[in-house]
Structure 1
Amino acid sequence: MTRPDGAGLSDEQRYDQGMQVRRAVLGDEHVDRAVAGTVPLTADFQGLITRYAWGDIWSRPGLGRRERSVAVLTALIALGHHEELAMHLRAALRNGLTQEEVVEVILQSAIYCGVPAANTAFRIAKDVYSEA
């Protein structure tokens, strides 16, 4: 039996599980672009994030994808990872958050991550959501 957290799975099974979750969260278009852009230099890293981040961590049963998106958005805002933030702002909607809830996450982050970080997050969110 396949466990949702990847425990007891082979690397190949974790990769397959991770790819399913990665596609569900980020969308086929994004994942296809990432896979197509993989070169020998980045292949091990792509495998690592697919197996570990998506196959193990995002697959764990303790939090739903909505809650994981809230945690990820906050961490990316705090750390200033703007490119990843844009990607996960799109993913947050796919995971069931509304734009209004994303606004609340960014407002909450203003208190704990800083107003400049939240200001940048709002700018990125405005750009990302105007694409849709």
Structure 2
Amino acid sequence: MSSQQPTNARDVIGDIAPKLADLTEDVLFGDIWERPALSKRDRSLVTVAALVSMCRTEQMPFHFSRAIENGVTQQEIIELITHLSFYAGWPSAMSAIMRAKDLFGAK
């Protein structure tokens, strides 16, 4: 696991699903996110696109913030959501943009 961007999986789910917490930290963030073939910025764009497409709104705040940390701008996230509205569906895009609005503080 990268010491730069630890997750809190053990704190959040470790009491009920310790193996899932371990896999999240050790495999997902410790291995997959560290593979050199894609930059972390590119991985963030792919991850955010997948979350928007599948309307996984609960995971969006964490990954929107992580994307910003990895060099994706707020405007790029908004543009990604707008672009996906035609490919992933309007309701998915509207749900995602509301999560972005909550996170980025837009009024």
**Structure number having the greater helix percentage:** 1
CA contact 1:19–1:50 (8 Å) conserved in 2: no
Query: Which among 64, 85, 88 is matched to residue 89 of structure 1?
Result: 64
Structure number with bigger Rg: 1
Correspondence 1:74 to 2:53 = no
Instruction: State the alpha-carbon separation in 2 of the partners of residues 21 and 114 from structure 1.
Output: 35
1:35 positional shift: 2.9
Partner residue in 2 for 1:105? 80
Q: Offset at 1:20? A: 2.5
Q: With structure 2 as the length reference, what TM-score do the two structures score?
A: 0.87
Where 2:37 maps in the other structure, the secondary structure is coil
One-letter amino acid of the counterpart of residue 122, structure 1: I
Structure 1: gaps (5+ residues) = 1-17, 24-30
CA distance in 2, matches of 1:108, 1:65: 21
- Partner residue of 1:52? 27
Residue aligning to 1:116: 91
Q: What amino acid sits opposite 1:76 in the alignment?
A: L
Classify the secondary structure of the residue corresponding to 1:113.
Answer: coil
Aligned match of 1:20:
3
For 2:2 and 2:92, locate their aligned partners in 1 and report how far apart those are by CA, in whole Å. 31
Moved over 6 A (4+): none
Give how far 1:22 is off.
4.0
Question: What per-residue deviation string (whole Å, max 9, x for no partner) do you get for residues 54-113 of structure 1?
Answer: 122101001111111110011111111111012111111111111111111111211211
Structure 2: gaps (5+ residues): none
**Deviation by residue 1:14-65 (Cα, 9 ceiling, x = unmatched):** xxxx253642xxxxxxx34x433321x2111100111211122101001111
CA distance in 2, matches of 1:110, 1:127: 18
RMSD: 1.7
| Alignment: residue pair count | 105
Tell me: higher relative CO, structure 1 or 2? Use CA pairs within 8 A at least 6 residues apart.
1
